């Protein structure tokens, strides 16, 4: 294998390096696609996940990478910050952000929260689970750190616009595993997390109760028809239309094999998304 590795290194010496950075959520299928392309097409692909989606956007803006991974749309602020960059979003799949809770909360009977309840918890007006139908226990809220696509989706749902979210003070979590791990190990825990990480054994995904009083779970069907409110597109970002190695890469992710990887990691592939004229 060492020998094989050395051969593999020797081969792509003349090829360009394709650099990718950004969202840890998008990273999962992307990294696996990169492994396949490295093996099959001898492409040299470097992937990093510094700073989440915001890190991907700024790395692309700074010209440090050819592809940014993002689980949120490019905003006007991003465009203002990098006026010379022509951000192009390529939609590769869809993911839902779930409000996840620890086992004790789930077993105490909390199954859903409304948007108002989420806002009150976020602003510190509700601090005990008994106020939302659970046991008498402090709500241990872990806020996803700034810049993460997960947080943006949450803030967008609760406040309509991420910029309207009030400044708060909570312990922060970064990567998905960190969030899952902390929620699993803390009684009364609540956090925002990509829904496919909720294993239903240690961490549980709550439904969102809509204005009609209906509890909508972050399931594939509800995400596809956009009934579940906190879903988000997964993007590969490029500066201008994809070209060269970036195009080869993105084409692969959009191919049936690439889309299979998106599904494998618990996201919805494009063909699973109901085209509802949106």
Partner 1 sequence: MNSPAVPITDTYSVVAPDRRRWSYTLVFSVIGTAVTAGFVVGMVALFAWQTLPVLSHSGLGYVTSNNWHYRQQMFGALSMIVGTLLVSAVALCVAAPVGIGAAIITSEFLPGRARLMVKIVIELLAGIPSVVYGLVGILYLRTFVYDTFESFDLHSGDTILTAGLLLAVMILPTVMTLSDDALRAVPALQRQAARGLGLSRLSAVMHVALPQARIGVIAAVLLALGRALGEAIAVFLVVGRQDNNLPTQPFTLRPLLESGQTLASKLGGAEINIAYGDPLHWAAVVGLGLMLLVMVGTVTLLAAALTSPKSAASPPQPVENAPKHARPTKTHSTKGTSDALLTARLAQEPAVTRLPKRRKWLERFSIGSFAACTLLATGVMLAMILAIFYRGSSALSLRFFTEQIKLVGADGGIFFNIIGTLLLITTALCVCTPIAVAVALMQSVYLRERAARGLGMVLYLLNGTPSILFGLFGLVVFVKFLGWGKSWLAGGILLGLMMIPIVTVALVERMKALPKKYIEAARGLGLSKSQTVWSVIIPQSRAGLVTGSLLGLARAAGETAPIMFTATIFAGAMFPRGIVESPVLSLPYHIFILAQDSFDPRVGEKLWGTAAALLMIVMLLSLIALPVRLRIHEEAVSA
**In the complex, which residues of this chain contact partner 1 (CB under 8 A)?**
1-2, 5, 8-9, 13, 17, 19-21, 24, 27-28, 31-32, 34-35, 38, 44-52, 54-55, 58-59, 61-62, 64, 81, 138, 140, 142, 145-148, 163, 167, 169-178, 181-182, 185-186, 189, 197, 265
For partner 1, give the closer residue by CB, 5 or 212: 5
- For the bound state, the minimum distance from the C-beta of residue 65 to partner 1, rounded and expressed in Å, comes to 9
Distance of CA 14 to the CA centre of its chain: 34
Residue whose CB is less far from partner 1, 46 or 225: 46
**Do 51 and 147 contact (CB within 8 A), yes or no?**
yes
Q: Which is nearer to partner 1, 81 or 130 (CB)?
A: 81
Q: How many CB atoms lie within 10 A of CB 228?
A: 23
CB of 133 to partner 1, least distance (A): 20
User: Measuring CA to CA, which residue among 204, 211, 231, 236 is closest to residue 220?
Assistant: 231
Q: How would you classify the pairing of strands 112-114 and 207-209?
A: parallel
Min dist CB 38 to partner 1, Å, is 8
**CA neighbours closer than 13 Å in the CB half-sphere of residue 120:** 13
Which of 3, 213 has the CB closer to partner 1? 3
Secondary structure class of 187 (helix, strand, coil):
coil
| Least distance in angstroms from the C-beta of 266 to partner 1 | 9
Cβ within 8 Å of residue 125, ≥6 positions away: none
Q: Give 27 or 231: the residue with its C-beta nearer to partner 1.
A: 27
**Under a CB-based contact definition with an 8 Å cutoff, are residues 98 and 219 in contact?**
no
Cβ 129 to partner 1 shortest distance, Å: 13
Between residues 46 and 243, which has the closer beta carbon with respect to partner 1? 46
DSSP 8-state code for residue 267 = P
Least distance (Å) between residue 161 CB and partner 1:
12
In order of 3, 39, 156, the CA distances from 36 in angstroms are: 19, 5, 35
């Amino acid at each position: 294998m060492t020998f094989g590795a050395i051969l593999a290194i020797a081969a792509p010496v003349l090829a360009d390096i394709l650099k990718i950075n950004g969202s840890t959520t998008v990273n999962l299928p992307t990294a696996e696609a990169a492994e396949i392309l490295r093996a099959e097409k001898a492409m040299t692909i470097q992937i990093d996940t510094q700073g989440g989606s915001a890190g991907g956007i700024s790395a692309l803006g700074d010209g440090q990478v050819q592809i940014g991974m993002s689980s949120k749309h490019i905003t006007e602020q991003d465009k203002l910050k990098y006026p010379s960059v022509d951000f192009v979003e390529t939609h590769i799949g869809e993911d839902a952000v779930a409000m996840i809770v620890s086992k004790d909360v789930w077993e105490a009977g909390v199954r859903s929260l409304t948007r108002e309840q989420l806002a009150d918890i976020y602003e510190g007006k509700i601090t005990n689970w008994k106020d939302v139908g659970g046991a008498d226990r402090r709500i241990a809220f872990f806020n996803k750190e700034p810049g993460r696509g997960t947080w943006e989706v949450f803030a967008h749902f609760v406040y309509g616009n991420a910029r309207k979210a009030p400044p708060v003070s909570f312990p922060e979590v970064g990567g998905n595993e960190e969030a899952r791990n902390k929620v699993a190990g803390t009684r009364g825990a609540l956090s925002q997390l990509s829904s496919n990480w909720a294993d239903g054994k240690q961490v549980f995904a709550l439904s969102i109760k809509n204005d009609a009083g209906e509890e909508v779970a972050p399931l594939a069907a509800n995400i596809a028809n956009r009934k579940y409110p906190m879903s988000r597109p997964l993007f590969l970002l490029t500066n201008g239309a994809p070209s060269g190695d970036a195009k080869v890469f993105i084409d692969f992710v959009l191919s049936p094999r690439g889309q299979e990887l998106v599904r494998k990691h618990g996201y919805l592939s494009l063909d699973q998304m109901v085209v509802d004229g949106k």
